[in-house]
Amino acid sequence: MQEARELANDPCTDYHAEPLEDDIFEWHCTIRGPSGTEFEGGLYHFRILLPAEYPFRPPSLMMLTPNGRFELNTKICISFTSYHEEEWQPAWGVRTAILGLQGFFPLKGSAANGVGSVEYPVSERKRLALISREWVCPKCQQTNLECLPDPLQHATTTLNEPMGLRGLSRAPDQLEPPVSRPPPTPLPPAPERSPVPETTISDPDQAAISTLVTESRSSIVGEQDRTPSGTEAIRGSQLPVYHRPPLLLDTAICLLLVLVVALLCRRVL
């Protein structure tokens, strides 16, 4: 289901939703309690029941984690659910329903009234928010915190990921030069590159042209190798130093081959 894939790739750290493995019409979702409210820090697990006519009819939401705001195992009355079918728009999707429910958490007084709503004291809601993190869904067999890790942890990991990737991408570069040093110094680079195009051309008469083409290609490849991505100054500055000798050798070989080919052509003609 496309929507499930979209939600799975959703970078939003406020919720995590996915359909059950055995029933695509039932989704389980964990949402974060809205910040600045008594639900802050709380994690709440609920069911999303899609009707057979979905997306033309709205989903139903049923809270599972004790929260002090919504009744448990009761279809919640918000404008995105089956209680307000006339307001539902097929384009909204599960994500809208999730965000809608999250938006309904802080509502107070008459705005909060409706089927499936309860109004526990703030202290009780805070207490429930605290213990909600370790609440385990009997179906998913995971705590809410496992379903939806804290954004701080997530933020640090996302911050660390690029750093880690940079570190990793730099580390191999620093490791690579010693490894790639042996090949550039001898001749192998040119023969290694030439076989690939040569296999495509079998005609002996065209061999001369092919060698020229391959040589020109190899020189282009060499130039590309010289500036692989240009993203990192370190890499860019290091590589030319290592690749200059093979480039000079390549061009020398190229010129020699051109001369040989020219001589052969003259003799043949």
CB 133 within 8 Å of CB 148:
no
Q: Count of alpha carbons within 13 Å of 36, Cβ hemisphere only?
A: 4
CB 197 within 8 Å of CB 211:
no
Residues of the shown chain interacting with Zn ion in the complex, contacts defined by CB under 5 A: 28, 137, 139-140
Residue 177 sits at φ, ψ, to 5 deg, of -45, -45
List alpha helices for 81-150, DSSP H. 93-104, 109-112, 122-132, 144-147
Residue with tokens 């029933």: 23
- Beta strands per DSSP E along the chain: 15-19, 26-32, 43-49, 60-63, 136-137, 142-143
- Report, in Å, the least distance between residue 22 CB and Zn ion: 12
In whole angstroms, what is the distance from residue 81 CA to residue 96 CA?
10
- Report, in Å, the least distance between residue 73 CB and Zn ion: 13
**Rounded to 5, what percent of the chain is helix, strand, coil?**
50, 10, 35
29 tagged catalytic: no
Q: Which is nearer to Zn ion, 57 or 139 (CB)?
A: 139
Q: Which is nearer to Zn ion, 76 or 253 (CB)?
A: 76
- Give the 3-state DSSP-derived string for 110-126, with helices as H, strands as E and coil as C: HHHCCCCECCCCHHHHH
In whole angstroms, what is the distance from residue 214 CA to residue 198 CA?
8
- Report, in Å, the least distance between residue 107 CB and Zn ion: 24
Q: Which is nearer to Zn ion, 21 or 203 (CB)?
A: 21
- Report, in Å, the least distance between residue 138 CB and Zn ion: 8
Of residues 77, 137, 147, 254, which has the active-site annotation? Answer: 77
- Report, in Å, the least distance between residue 96 CB and Zn ion: 20
Other CB atoms within 10 A of residue 215 CB: 23
Q: Which is nearer to Zn ion, 17 or 239 (CB)?
A: 17
DSSP-assigned beta bridge partners for residue 269: none
Q: Which is nearer to Zn ion, 140 or 249 (CB)?
A: 140
Q: Which is nearer to Zn ion, 62 or 190 (CB)?
A: 62
Residue 228 sits at φ, ψ, to 5 deg, of -60, -50
- Report, in Å, the least distance between residue 72 CB and Zn ion: 13
> Looking at the annotation, which residues are catalytic?
77
